[in-house]
Amino acid sequence: GKVDGVVRAKRKPYIPVVLSREEIDTILTNLSPPYDLVVRLLYGCGLRLFECLNLRVQCVNFDAGILTVHDGKGKKDRTVPLPQTIFPDLRAHLESVKDLHQRDLIRDYGGVFLPNALAEKYKNAPRELIWQWLFPAIQLTYVEKTGEYMRYHLHETHVQKAIRPAVRTSRIAKRVSSHTFRHSFASHLLQANYDIRTIQELLGHSDVRTTTAFNCSPAKFSGQNIPNNPPISSTV
């Protein structure tokens, strides 16, 4: 209950940790594949970690220069610009995914995990290339119910475990997690005067107030749209 004469302290506003472009470049140099590419997408496209790891081969559209993010927070799909600087390494990574898929087919694996409704509707989809994970797990998973070996995506904890030593090696005295790169994407665009509503859409925020938490000066917004290559790190 209430205590007379005691005033409850106001909760401090949440201030997200933001990295500079130079700090992000340094961290990237200390990450090995595929974790460096995961982080480049987290920062370059403003993705949540689970959104990035849930990407499938068909989500990448090089011709349009976009990435389709399915089933994000709130079960909403969205498209985001794919920085052209990522194209070469992403193409090379996709080739390795295709090679892994071919080896899996030869071993007669059960396919990738799909939402139940999709798996029921499209029986062959789990074994089709377009449905393969963009970041597949290293090991196959045995499914006792069916007696099949199937492939899941890279686990979130593996990414976090890769980021921590990379940050330490980079000698960055900030509390960095996978979400920090998404925060940095938003903050860098806001600092460069990009339209708050456009950034809200790119981040998949349902409430614009969540987006403004990344910036303390709303008067800076100029109303321009995000270009094909946002002003982010040169490495990304």
Note the pLDDT of residue 196.
Answer: 74
Note the pLDDT of residue 100.
Answer: 97
Note the pLDDT of residue 112.
Answer: 95
Compute φ and ψ for 48, nearest 5 degrees.
Answer: -75, 155
Least confident of 7-11, 18-22, 56-60, 189-193: 7-11
Q: Domain residues for 83?
A: 21-89+154-220
DSSP annotation of 152: P
pLDDT at residue 157 greater than cutoff 90: yes
Mean pLDDT across the chain: 84
pLDDT at residue 221 greater than cutoff 50: no
Least confident of 69-73, 123-127, 219-223: 219-223
DSSP annotation of 75: S
Instruction: Give 82 or 199, the one with higher predicted confidence.
Output: 82
Note the pLDDT of residue 97.
Answer: 98
Q: Give the total number of structural domains in the chain.
A: 1
Output the domain CATH number for residue 64.
1.10.443.10
15 within some domain? no
Least confident of 11-20, 126-135, 212-221: 212-221
Mean pLDDT is highest, among 6-20, 114-128, 161-175, for: 161-175
What is the pTM assigned to this prediction?
A: 0.82
Q: Is 209 exposed, middle or buried (0-12, 13-18, 19+ CB in 10 A)?
A: exposed
11 within some domain? no
25 within some domain? yes
148 within some domain? no
Note the pLDDT of residue 95.
Answer: 98
166 within some domain? yes
28 within some domain? yes
**Amino acid of residue 15:** I
CA-to-CA dists, residue 138 to 12, 41, 131, 149, 203, angstroms: 42, 20, 17, 13, 29
Tokens of residue 196, six digits: 């708050």
Q: Could you tell me the pLDDT band of residue 50, with boundaries at 50, 70 and 90?
A: very high
Note the pLDDT of residue 43.
Answer: 95
pLDDT at residue 3 greater than cutoff 70: no
Q: Could you tell me the pLDDT band of residue 121, with boundaries at 50, 70 and 90?
A: confident
99 within some domain? no
Question: What angle do the packed helices 178-191 and 21-29 form, to 10 degrees?
Answer: 150
Q: In angstroms, how far apart are the furthest CA atoms of the chain?
A: 74
122 within some domain? no
Instruction: Tell me what the mean pLDDT of segment 187-195 comes to.
Output: 81
Note the pLDDT of residue 75.
Answer: 65
